[in-house]
Amino acid sequence: MPSKNICFNPSGHDTYSPAYSHVSSVPISGTHNLVSFAGQIGRDDDHNVPEDLGAQVSIALANVDKCLESVNATKDDIVQVRQYIVDLLHDRDGEKNVPNPVRAKLYAEWMGGRKPPSTVLGVQSLANKELLYEIEVICVVENKAG
């Protein structure tokens, strides 16, 4: 079993920085790979970042879909998720300490009933001041060549 970690950027996926790759895949057995995706953000292929959290979440999830496709994986292969949200607890309709329901709704719809372990973290900022949302995903994927 080869033990080499393979890192790459999916075809058609915007490269945010030359300092890292979006996808890392390493064999964990003769039949499966552990695959992790760098944090996917709400920046589209034209480098646009919408101001709206919901729009950023939608773009980030579409970017995760590109990463899944690049390793022949599906959402059923996801074993862990981490979500980072700027200003997680914000004032909404006069309420304090209430998470924005848009992110949770979009994520739940995207997952389609799947519920892998997920951590949601409120952060002060992300890599760019325009960014409001980032999602990291870890999968275990069958190695079709194995």
Average pLDDT of span 55-73: 96
Please, which residues have CB within 8 angstroms of residue 119's CB and are 6 or more apart in sequence? 81, 82, 83
- Per-residue model confidence (pLDDT) at position 145: 62
- Per-residue model confidence (pLDDT) at position 140: 98
pLDDT digits (tens, 9 = 90+) for 106-131: 999 999 999 999 999 999 999 999 99
- Per-residue model confidence (pLDDT) at position 91: 56
Average pLDDT of span 10-33: 85
Q: pLDDT tier at 36 (50, 70, 90 boundaries)? A: very high
CATH architecture under which domain 6-142 falls? 2-Layer Sandwich (3.30)
Task: Provide the residue ranges of all domains of the chain, joining segments of one domain with +.
Answer: 6-142
